[in-house]
Structure 1
Amino acid sequence: MKVKDFDYYLPQELIAQHPAEKRDKSRLMVVDKNTGEIEHKIFKDIIDYLKPGDCLVLNNTRVLPARLIGAKENTGGKIEFLLLKRIDEKKWETLVKPGKRAKIGSRFEFGDGKLKAEVKSMGEDGSRIVEFEYEGIFEEVLDELGQMPLPPYITEKLEDKERYQTVYSKEPGSAAAPTAGLHFTEELMKKVKEKGVKIAFLTLHVGLGTFRPVKVENIQEHHMHSEYYTMSKETADTINETKENGGRIIAVGTTSCRTLETIGNENGKVKEQSGWTDIFIYPGCKFKIIDALITNFHLPQSTLLMLVSAFSSKEIIMNAYEKAVSEKYRFFSFGDSMIIK
């Protein structure tokens, strides 16, 4: 199967630059995964497609304001750091622009010296291991000085940082938002519970590799980036009970889906677990846990589009995307939503 099989035409103006005015007022495309039948709704109508006894599984990761703009000590040369992964209390793996300013031993400061950094080593991929100096709690300093690491296709400034967080975000650690969950409001979550639908949380910290293009022609040769996940005993028990009682497991987002399918065994059961996953789901893969998927519209030729196609079929999903373009749905992180049932 070739990467180009997952290409589609997308006019630039359909790439959403801002979140919807109200989270649950974005559009919702309803797709039958077996027949390809399509309905056009508003996201708050999602409640009509959930049944008592179902279980919604949500990723409660919280995006770090991981983009730091600062200056090189002594010269004042502008620098941009993007935090990728925490190594220990003060060390992080980072991407740095421009890289030529960030040689080993180079020092930088941010926010008039509230945060300082020194480059300790360089990775083969151009990343830098950086040690930070600060007073107090790092997350609080980062919250004050950092900006949201919006995807490269969003070029306009985000006025409210919280709009790139889900309303249930809790565990800091992501470099990107689990965007399928951005459509839920606290009021909608309350209605979901009142309908008798269970809500279960897991955590998968989304890495920037989620935006990395597939550079091989044959998709089976692609190696996925790895991301850290954790599932509690409470969530595992809720999912297993739902399955035993005949309810559906509805993954909110590809991140929840990947975590569930990583942990799930051949008998359709999950257990309390933490670790790193580099699972790559593409057409031909068999799903062990999920019965329905809520997701946004993904980039052409992306691993996320391949995952969604695997859950239904390439023909049905590519047809749905063609329909979304003709109906002028909004695409990508701040765009509209789809439920595949």
Structure 2
Amino acid sequence: MTTRTRPAPLAFAAPLIIAVLVIVGAYTLHAHWGAFLQWCLSLQIALHRYLVLYLLQLNNHQYTGGLWLLTGAFIYGVLHAIGPGHGKFIATTYLSTNRETLKATRLIPFFGSLMQGVSAILFVFILAVGFNLAAGDLSQSRWYVEKISAVLIGSFGLWLVLRAVKESLPALRPAPRFTAFRPHQHDASCGCGHHGVGHAQTQAGDWKTRLGIILAIGARPCSGAIMILLFSNALGIVTWGIAAVMAMSLGTGLSIMGMSLAVRYARQAALRYADNRPPRQLQWLLLALRVAGGLALMLFALILFLTVIPVSANGDYIAAGC
């Protein structure tokens, strides 16, 4: 006689507690969203002013300002991860709806943040230094870059949706009723049920998907980093500006990495909780999650495209945000 062990009460209570905390946090953030955005903007402007002050100290040969510049830039990058931003949304949306390895979960947001700093450096050196554009022309160039990056993010979201449907639908086809008189060959489209949930849960993203996430994050340069680079270039200390921008990116990358790890662990816990569902239902659930992630990126890209800050003749690097 076999005895069936009852699951611990914590196994049922933990997902419920997490869900309640998420709902309460989301409601609180929604209720104070306007004040939160205003606080983020005011804090960003204050930090920009401090960074400009440290650059002026360096220009006056006060080299202790260099240490404060790098420290302040790193802290700015860490705090920047708290506020709204496209990099956090792209990374967390992808990792919450697609299975990834622990190493990729760490490296994707990290390299995406570094890529964002590199794109800001390229933006300034190609347009401001190489073509010697004025502030109004730089603002127009920033407008085009943000529009193009929104289109790229939306295209990547569409590609995720098509990829999810292409990979999942063959396993969801009904199995053939009669397969006698011939040997059965197992493949991804045989519909026999042996390549469904387990295969979908163990198959992580390929290098193309990971590279796409990194490029989607880094395609839109941080306008705060652009402002620091332009000011340091005007002072003739562009090396310090580059170092500050990469310190920003490092702080942002480390913060988003922590968020991504939390999202990955939450996704694993949710899948373990859903393991008691029938395999076919779980297959549809996994497909729905992947499609929802791609659609969320497409919707986010549309919002980015429609809300790009207009061109300003005097430049708009502080007001534009990151």
TM-score (norm 2): 0.26
With structure 1 as the length reference, what TM-score do the two structures score? 0.25
Higher-strand-fraction structure: 1
Please state which structure has a larger fraction of its residues in helix.
Answer: 2
Larger RCO: 1 or 2 (CA < 8 Å, sep 6+): 2
